[in-house]
Amino acid sequence: MQDDRNGCAGEEGWPDGGGIDFMSVWILRFAAALYLAAAAAYVFYFARPRHTRAASAGYTLVGAGFLVHAISIGFACSEFRGAEFFTLRGGLVMIAWLAAGGFLLLIRAYRLPAIGAFITPLLLMALVPGLFAQPGQSHGIVPEVVRLPVLKLHVIAATGAVGLFAIAFGVALMYLLQERELKGKRFGALFSRLPSLTALDRLNQRMVRSGFVIYTIALVSGTLTAKTAWGRFFGWDLQQVISLGIWLLFALMVQLRHSGIHGRKYAVLTVVGFVLVMGTMVGLRQAPGLTRHEGSYAADRGSSS
Amino acid sequence: MNDVSMVGLSHKSAPIGVRERVALCGDALRDALTALRARPDVDEAMVISTCNRVEVYVAGPVSAARSFFVDRCAESVDHLYVRESREAVRHLFRVAASLDSMVLGEQQILGQVKEAYGVASASGAAGAFVSRLCNRAFATAKRVRNETQIGCGASSMSQVAVELVEKIFSDLKGREIVLVGAGKMGALSAKALASLGADRILVTNRSPERARALAEQVGGFSRDWAELDALLVAADVAIVSTGAPNYVITAEMVQRLMKARRHRSMCFIDLSVPRNVDPKCADLPDVYAYDVDDLEKVVQTTKEARAGEAIRAEAIVEAEVMAFVAERDQRAALPVLAGLRRKAEQIARTEAERTLAQIGASLDDKQRKSVEAMARAIVNKLLHVPTARLKEAAASGDTALPGAAAELFDVDNNDQHSQRPAADSGHSAQVLSMSEKR
């Protein structure tokens, strides 16, 4: 992701031309258009389940979007020299990309195209800041001191885990809707189009479990990075505290599964977990100074040595 | 348009006692078709024979089709309905599209019509006309299925039960169904649920003999009534239909069971009246309980939805009938038009040649061509309006005009388009409309 760091390490930031001029943003917009078309196809399929071709079209479009998205990320790496992924915008772009990849694998493995109507709009929503916000304001180049291999792992694992939680969130919503139909004895359009409770529950559980494993990797690699950047493994930074809380919540969910907790409670926990993840991701970046994780490495560079 | 006739009886017109006496299958059906085809006034024949209807379609007069029933069961005559020509075409299309079925929109009938056509075709009773008729009927049925929602939803209680269980568990592989009580509806639903691949069906009843009998019937195993609690802990779907006047399965009991099940989801389908499963069970987490009213409500919704869709389906059938009849009539008019044109061109050519033979020597090439062109132009101008009128008449289903034209212009219909001599029928229009038959 940060292949070009050597050549540009000395520069401060990038030209203030605005996001519009960046090649990566244009390519990202193209990818978003593909995702939009995919979402339309999947929603159409959801409304008219007879048209299975719409679902296959959606799948192909997500695949194409995923590739274009990858190209955009490649361009972004060279344009922003890696700093991209330390902003909310870049993080969301990365999460959407990994979630799209996860979604493609999921559809191949489970053949439940109905979930496309719930996941693809989420992908699009994650991309919106990437399309219109100015890429990577303020923080400047990632300082040499945190440019560790483990940081790359941290970024990929963290975004990947959030991507999986996002998919689990969509699936959990579907579960709650279907459960409401079944319990309320309303057997309408939703009832016939949503997959069965068991299928959704199983899928949700697998997403949460694999998301938890990857989140653990993100947490460990993040802690290692903190040691280098901030001088301590755990410094009661708000981001660290909340991340640990989220990790505990998901660990609890994985554990509860073994004691028979499933279905509605599990779906509600998944939704809560994802809302917490997104809440911290967005919220902690709104107020500067709440956490050093938000990108102010320079301030701590001294303490790291 | 005295071409295709249909005589039949169905669940709407005749009691089962009459239907079963005229119903046919296998060799008997083939023999009947051969007998029909052997009649001089029948060109083609097809018999649809299902448990709900027996219908005879013939390319020929009604009397021929009626004889099929008179020969078999004299009292069936009171229950017969008769459709002729366009009405018969519409009837077949409606039957194939399941608009005339006992359960609107059911899927079986199309297969049964296809089978009837297959038998008629194999035994040589169905020819080009019935083949075209049936193919159009199949296409109509397909359109109705694709363009309307007439086949959607569950149309019986057992189907609703299957759909519900499917939406909870996906399938029943590795799961058990327990039948509590030996009610008939319960057995039906259990059989339907077996299609979801349940490992086994266990039957329990207060009287063990009936449990054993029912277990044999549904291909399951019987268990002691005393084991009920244990059975409910192991199984995932319980179908309850006992004759008990009170709740056999109470909310407290289910609460206890769910603990023992470690809260694995459980589905109760209560088919008994009065109810045997406490409705409060449905409020417990991970318990899905439905009674007869819930299932009946779904069946009713499906019926209403299908009835609404039937209106759209009828419109499709009507359009297809019109298209079929128009196409057939156009086929009927074609030989007349072709013959008329051929005859006129022949006259034009002969007359032009005769004129040129007399004065041709004094004319140059350009002038000769003008004479030929003039002859052709006169023919074309004269025929322009009759041609248009004949095409119009054909399209609107009027076969009298093509017949009149054939007579008026003394056109021989027996050209390459019609393979049948126009002799054995009194009215030429009739012959025209059937001219594609062999």
Cα separation of B176 and B204, whole Å? 13
pLDDT band at A304 (very low <50, low <70, confident <90, very high): very low
Six token digits for residue B256: 């206890």
B60-74, B234-248, B382-396, B416-430: which has the minimum mean pLDDT?
B416-430
pLDDT at res. A82: 62
pLDDT at res. B28: 84
pLDDT at res. A81: 65
Cα separation of A1 and A257, whole Å? 36
Distance from CA of B145 to the nearest CA of A (A): 11
Torsion sign over Cα B10, B11, B14, B18: positive
**Is residue B267 annotated as a catalytic residue, yes or no?**
no
Residue range B347-398, pLDDT digits in tens: 888 988 888 888 877 888 888 888 888 888 988 888 888 888 887 777 666 7
Average pLDDT score, chain A: 78
pLDDT at res. B39: 86
A141-150, A264-273, B196-205, B299-308: which has the minimum mean pLDDT?
A141-150
B58 pLDDT higher than 80: yes
The reply to whether residue B167 touches residue A197, judged by beta carbons under 8 angstroms, is yes
Residue range A225-256, pLDDT digits in tens: 777 777 777 777 777 888 888 889 889 888 88
The reply to whether residue B167 touches residue A182, judged by beta carbons under 8 angstroms, is yes
Cα separation of A273 and A251, whole Å? 11
pLDDT at res. A291: 63
Strand partners, B289: B268
Strand partners, B203: B179, B222
The stretch B37-48 carries a mean pLDDT of 88
Q: For A195, which DSSP code?
A: P
Beta strand ranges found along B248-374 (DSSP E): 266-270, 287-291
Residue range A4-51, pLDDT digits in tens: 333 333 334 444 444 456 777 888 888 889 999 999 999 888 888 878
**Among A51, A174, A179, A187, which would you mutate to test the B interface (most chain B Cβ atoms within 10 Å of its Cβ)?**
A187
The reply to whether residue B262 touches residue A260, judged by beta carbons under 8 angstroms, is yes
pLDDT at res. A106: 86
pLDDT at res. B386: 84
Distance from CA of A82 to the nearest CA of B (A): 45
The reply to whether residue B298 touches residue A187, judged by beta carbons under 8 angstroms, is yes
Q: Which residues of A269-289 are buried (b: 16+ CB within 10 A; e: fewer)?
A: bbbebbebbbebbeebbeeee
Residue range B183-218, pLDDT digits in tens: 777 888 888 888 888 888 899 988 888 888 888 888
pLDDT band at B432 (very low <50, low <70, confident <90, very high): very low
The stretch A200-214 carries a mean pLDDT of 91
The reply to whether residue B285 touches residue A50, judged by beta carbons under 8 angstroms, is no
pLDDT at res. B108: 84
Q: Nearest residue of B to residue A189 by CA position?
A: B153
The reply to whether residue B168 touches residue A198, judged by beta carbons under 8 angstroms, is yes
A6-10, A61-65, B121-125, B240-244: which has the minimum mean pLDDT?
A6-10
pLDDT at res. B114: 92
B245 pLDDT higher than 90: no
Which residue did the predictor score with more confidence, B421 or A218? A218
A25-34, A78-87, A94-103, B226-235: which has the minimum mean pLDDT?
A78-87
Distance from CA of A198 to the nearest CA of B (A): 5
The stretch A107-121 carries a mean pLDDT of 85
Q: Provide the number of CB pairs (under 8 Å) joining chain A to chain B.
A: 50
Which residue did the predictor score with more confidence, B416 or B20? B20
pLDDT at res. B353: 87
pLDDT at res. B422: 37
pLDDT band at A135 (very low <50, low <70, confident <90, very high): low
Cα separation of A55 and A112, whole Å? 10
The stretch B233-258 carries a mean pLDDT of 89
The one catalytic residue among B25, B51, B152, B281: B51
pLDDT band at A212 (very low <50, low <70, confident <90, very high): very high
3-class DSSP assignment, residue B82: strand
CB contact at 8 A, B143 and B169: no
Q: B272: closest CA among B238, B302, B301?
A: B238
The stretch B330-342 carries a mean pLDDT of 78
Six token digits for residue A293: 């994780």
pLDDT at res. B429: 39
A143-147, A240-244, B412-416: which has the minimum mean pLDDT?
B412-416
C-alpha R_g of chain A: 20
B93 pLDDT higher than 90: yes
- With a pLDDT cut of 90, the percent of chain A lying above it is 14
The answer to whether B142 faces chain A, any CB pair under 8 Å, is no
B434 pLDDT higher than 50: no
A123-137, A197-211, B86-100, B330-344: which has the minimum mean pLDDT?
A123-137
pLDDT at res. A295: 55
Sheet architecture: strand order including B221-223: B221-223, B200-204, B176-180, B237-240, B266-270, B287-291
A161 pLDDT higher than 50: yes
